Every structure is written in structure tokens, then in C-alpha cells.
Structure 1
Amino acid sequence: MTIIPTIHSIEAGVLRVGYMEQGPADGWPCVLCHGFPYDIHAYAEVAPRLTAAGARVIVPYLRGYGPTAFLSPETPRSGEQAALAADLLALLDALGLQRAVLAGYDWGGRAACIVAALWPERVVALVSGNAYNLQDIPRSWEPAAPEVEASLWYQYYFHAERGRRGLARNRKGLARLLWRMWSPSWAFDEPTFERSAAAFNNDDFVEVVIHSYRHRFGLVPGDPAYAHIETRLTAQPPIGVPTIAIDGSADGVNSGTAHHAEHFTGRYEHRVFDGAGHNLPQERPVEWAQAVLDARSAAGQSTVPAAR
């Protein structure tokens, strides 16, 4: 059940956001956020299942991806976590969505988690790939287990100018390698990869990505416009909205997040998709869609089962 999305655009905060919208205009709002290095096609088979359950599904391209563009050349091309959250909040405002179900993984999951933590009145329920996805930047230089450190090789690569040049020269090659390493059981074909890889041709992709992986280690300053958000995030605020957190048992970059439960103060459930890697909604669309419906139900919102 693959859709060919119609791409809309809207000015939201510092961006003109490109996004896919599917479902009835008066449906219950659901915003699905992709990660790095992926794009909106991660939800190609999730969206129609949710619209069949009455959802109005919004899937935006993150800053630096696809048609999403900065409104001003003067705006810093920041990839910091606070910027991603501010973008999501601005999109909700621009679309007139007072409250929505938020779901995401990787970068997109981080944006959704931050909005849920700091602006819970805007969030009906949350589905988060890899659970509590907020960066603890003040403690980012604490070493992890050797196996974890090895899985983060690409982040350390991006810290150096060699990594910036490598990403600029071969962004598709790096992304394809990460897809394979992070989802070793996912037999994606070349057309599937190329469909998403087109989103990496954005003029701001390299700068946003490099800033993201340097900022999270405190190597570069953030955009001053988001300093107040980053300050609040140093406290690692809890998430109180109903949440379903999901890990893939074969995730090649994340070793599991069952221990994150202490960060959630509302209704919380942790699920593991057996055999799935890092790109959870694209690898397991049926299970991901059901998690969205179950999270919404946990928030006291009636729904119907997802289409299979």
C-alpha cells in the first residue's frame, strides 16, 4: 500500500516547509517525523493505514531535506535538537493544529519528544522510536561502552573537516551504507533508496547535518534563537503525555532503550519490533501504525483499527 504523495508547502517559523498531507481535513491530526538519513517516504505505508482510521496525516521534510527551505540566507543552518523542536512547533501553529498525535524516530523522534516534554498541551500522545530521544549535551563527553562508541563512528567522522567533505562529496553513498548498517535485516531495493536519497540534494543538507553532529557534543555553538530551549533541555525534562516507545531488536546504531522508562511520568509502554532495524516505520509499517492508534487510545481518544 504505497502512496505517491502530493507535496504541499507552508511558511512556518524560519522555514518554508514541504510536507505531505493525507486524509480528511477534519480528521484527528497526526504528525509523523522522519530521521537522518531518511525522508517522508519512511511513512509511505503508514499514512494510508492511519487515514483509514480517520487521521489527518502530516509528514514534513525536516530542515535540510527535500523542498524544505530557509526563508532567509541569514538564518544559521543549525541542526541542533532545539531547532528541530522549534520547527515542529512552528508547523503545528502554521497549520492551526492546537493538539496532535506526534510520532517519530531518530531526528524526527527527537523533535517530537522535545515538544511533548516542553509543550505537552500541544500533544495528544507520542510514539517515539528509541524512547527518550533528548540529547544530554552537558554530559556528551562521558564515554560509552566500546561497542556503542564503535557504532557512532559516523558522528566522529562528521566532527572533522574530512567528514564534511566526505558528506558533501558522497552523501548518497554514506546514507546507503548507514541504511545497511543500521537495518541489517531490511532488504530494501535500490529504487526505494533512490526515492528517499533525492531529499538529500537540498542545498542546506550538508551544513545542517554537520552542525547537528557537532553541536550535540558541544563542539560548535547553537543558534542563539534557540538558546532558551537548549537551556531547558539541560534539565532533561520528563515526558508526561501518553507514550509508546519502540526499539528494533536488530537496530545497528541503538542498543535498546528499556532503561528510559524513568523519563516518562504518564502512561508508558515499551515495545520491541523483532528483527527490525533503525528505520522502524518503513520496516514495520503495520506495527508502527497500530502503535500510533494505541497511543491515541491510551490518551482517551476513540479510534478504529489500522487498515492492514
Structure 2
Amino acid sequence: MLKHITTDLLKIAYDEQGEPDGWPVILLHGFPYDVHAYEHVAPRLTAQGARVLIPFLRGYGPTRFQSSATLRSGQQAALGADLLALLDVIGIEQAIIGGYDWGGRAACIVAALWPARTRGLVSVNGYNIQNIAAASRPADPEKEHRLWYQYYLHGERGRTGLEGNRRAFCRLLWTQWSPIWCFDDATFARSAAAFDNPDFVDVVVHSYRHRFGLEDGDPRYDDIERRLSVLPPIAVPTITLEGETDGVSPPGGRLTNATRFTGRHENRVVANAGHNLPQEAPDAFAEAILNIHAWTA
């Protein structure tokens, strides 16, 4: 069921499934995807008593900014703050949080900075908090070429290209990042509707410029960014997942940061799955959530 809540900055749209008194789970999508990434995960969880909430991130679907004056920020601190605000407004004291890509980053941020609100974490691609101070240091060419879309969006040509070709641009990323996932036109179209949000381009461009120090962030998040700059550890029980065929973050990449998980932690490589792991391998993702639930019962 699609619902809405209002925070100080946003009217957040979210899908809710399960009984209101179920054990709460928040699932967060990435770029360029939407809540349909969890369409086959949620039923597996609600069948085991979960209350599942899947929000549209800022800039996606029906989620809207309340004021035209608010910076359309896509910085990591904004995503974490939005998740915390959602928990506060709905009145969820503690939840299992799962996500990938942008959603995995928001989940890692809340788990690191507000661990009392996080019963456990499932994060695709490991420790997702950005090391912005080190972003200007080039990586090896094999990794750099996979990030072409980020560099493209650093210039105004890229912004114009995304604005005019957002569906073709995003579909190309789907195919590059999940090379063996045979999604059909209807599956893509359901998610692509979320990219018609009037703030999508601004939020996406700001995200990929801020993380490289090319644009300032929203001053309201300065304190959170300062706390994230030290790459805080994550102490809550965590399962990290990696898609075996992930075309943008192959297995073994961010797990160089495995020491950032200081509590119970297990990493799993999921066969025949790419970057959009929850939608490609819903059983594996749901199993990880259920395992966290069992660990912390």
C-alpha cells in the first residue's frame, strides 16, 4: 500500500506491506532504480511476520520537496538524514535496515551514526559510506572506466544528456551493471516512471558532483558530513552481499573496508546476480534479512 509521511523537508512516499505490529524492516533502493526492486523480497518477509516499508528516495517517484528553496541535494548525509526522519515521523524506534547503492549508503550511515535505531543491517557492496576526502585520488583504470557515468555528470553536457535521455541513460546502466539479468520492457518501465520526478536530475547530478568535492553540500548536513568524514565503524549485526556479476562494483571491491564492521559480520557473494541484487536475487536478499532477524531475536 502506498502511503505518505511529511518530514521537515520532504513528503516521502513509501510502500508498506505486512501487519502494523510486525517486526519493522526498512528497505532502500539505489540509483537508478525504485521501490520495485523489492517487489519479490517484501512478500517473503511479511510471510515471516515483518512489517516492510520501502520509501522512494528524494528525487524519485512521488516523493517531493516541500519548498522550492531547498537545495536538491543528493549528498550522502542527506540520504541518511531522510532515513532517520522517516523512522522518527512513523514512530519506529528500531528497525532492520537493508539497501544497496544509494539506499545501502543511507542504511550504513544510520547504522554507523545512530546504532540504537538499527537492529541490524543488510548492505550490498559492503561499507557504503563515501570517503570524500580521498575521492580525487584516481583508481586503477579497470575501476575508473566503470565510473564513466559519474564523470559524465560532472559537466553540463552530462546534465543535459540526463535531462533529455533519462530513460535511455538509466536503461544502459541497468544492462551494464547487471549483464546477465534478462529484464523485460515492462519491468524497466515500472521503475523508469520514478525517474520522471521533477527533482530527479538535480538530485542525481548533485550526488555525483558532491562526492568528488565539485559542489558544496547543503549546510544543514555539515555536522553529519563531518562525522562521516572519519569513516565511522558499524557495530550493529551486519550481512554484506555482493553480486557475482556486478558490473559496477565487482566482488572484493569495497570489502577492503571490511574492518569497518566491528560487530558480528558475514559477507556473502551471490551467484548470478548483478548490481540490482534484491530484484535479481530476492531469495538471497530476503534470507539475509531473515538471518539478521534470527541473530537479534
In the alignment, what sits opposite 1:150? 145
In the alignment, what sits opposite 2:155? 160
Q: Does 1:202 align with 2:197?
A: yes
2:112 to 113, 117, 141: 117
2:32 to 15, 34, 37: 37
In the alignment, what sits opposite 1:297? 294
Question: What is the alpha-carbon distance in structure 2 between the residues aligned to residue 14 and residue 104 of structure 1?
Answer: 22
Question: What is the alpha-carbon distance in structure 2 between the residues aligned to residue 298 and residue 235 of structure 1?
Answer: 28
1:254: how far off? 0.4
Q: Does 1:135 align with 2:130?
A: yes
Matches within 5 A, 1:190-269: 190-256=185-251, 257-269=254-266
1:258: how far off? 3.3
SS in 2 for 1:98: coil
SS in 2 for 1:42: helix
1:145: how far off? 1.1
In the alignment, what sits opposite 1:80? 75
SS in 2 for 1:159: coil
Contact 1:31 / 1:58 at 8 angstroms: preserved in 2? yes
* TM-score, normalization by structure 2: 0.98
Question: What is the alpha-carbon distance in structure 2 between the residues aligned to residue 149 and residue 228 of structure 1?
Answer: 30
Question: What is the alpha-carbon distance in structure 2 between the residues aligned to residue 13 and residue 243 of structure 1?
Answer: 30
Q: Does 1:284 align with 2:281?
A: yes
Contact 1:13 / 1:87 at 8 angstroms: preserved in 2? no
1:182: how far off? 0.1
In the alignment, what sits opposite 1:306? none
What percentage of residue pairs aligned between the two structures are identical? 60
SS in 1 for 2:269: strand
1:295: how far off? 1.5
Q: Does 1:179 align with 2:174?
A: yes
Question: What is the alpha-carbon distance in structure 2 between the residues aligned to residue 132 and residue 296 of structure 1?
Answer: 20
1:194: how far off? 0.2
1:25: how far off? 0.3
SS in 1 for 2:153: helix
Q: Which runs of 4+ in 1 moved over 2 A?
A: 255-260
Question: What is the alpha-carbon distance in structure 2 between the residues aligned to residue 242 and residue 296 of structure 1?
Answer: 10
Question: What is the alpha-carbon distance in structure 2 between the residues aligned to residue 12 and residue 277 of structure 1?
Answer: 33
Question: What is the alpha-carbon distance in structure 2 between the residues aligned to residue 212 and residue 93 of structure 1?
Answer: 24
- After superposition, what is the alpha-carbon deviation per residue over 1:104-130, rounded to whole angstroms, capped at 9, x for unaligned? 000000000000000000000000010
Contact 2:127 / 2:255 at 8 angstroms: preserved in 1? no
- After superposition, what is the alpha-carbon deviation per residue over 1:154-203, rounded to whole angstroms, capped at 9, x for unaligned? 00000000000000000000000000000001000000000000000000
Question: What is the alpha-carbon distance in structure 2 between the residues aligned to residue 172 and residue 197 of structure 1?
Answer: 6
1:260: how far off? 2.4
Deviates most, 270-279 or 255-264 = 255-264
In the alignment, what sits opposite 1:304? none
In the alignment, what sits opposite 1:271? 268
Matches within 5 A, 1:44-123: 44-123=39-118
Which consecutive residues of structure 2, in runs of 5 or more, have no partner in the other structure? none
* TM-score, normalization by structure 1: 0.95
- After superposition, what is the alpha-carbon deviation per residue over 1:209-249, rounded to whole angstroms, capped at 9, x for unaligned? 00000000000000000010000111000000000000001
Question: What is the alpha-carbon distance in structure 2 between the residues aligned to residue 258 and residue 116 of structure 1?
Answer: 17
Question: What is the alpha-carbon distance in structure 1 between the residues aligned to residue 18 and residue 74 of structure 2?
Answer: 30
Contact 2:244 / 2:272 at 8 angstroms: preserved in 1? yes
1:298: how far off? 1.9
Question: What is the alpha-carbon distance in structure 2 between the residues aligned to residue 13 and residue 145 of structure 1?
Answer: 42
Which consecutive residues of structure 1, in runs of 5 or more, have no partner in the other structure? 1-5, 302-308
- After superposition, what is the alpha-carbon deviation per residue over 1:272-291, rounded to whole angstroms, capped at 9, x for unaligned? 00121000000000110010
RMSD: 0.7
Q: How many residues align?
A: 295
Question: What is the alpha-carbon distance in structure 2 between the residues aligned to residue 287 and residue 249 of structure 1?
Answer: 12
Q: Which amino acid aligns with 2:72?
A: R
Question: What is the alpha-carbon distance in structure 2 between the residues aligned to residue 185 and residue 292 of structure 1?
Answer: 24
Q: Which amino acid aligns with 2:285?
A: W
Question: What is the alpha-carbon distance in structure 1 between the residues aligned to residue 250 and residue 283 of structure 2?
Answer: 23
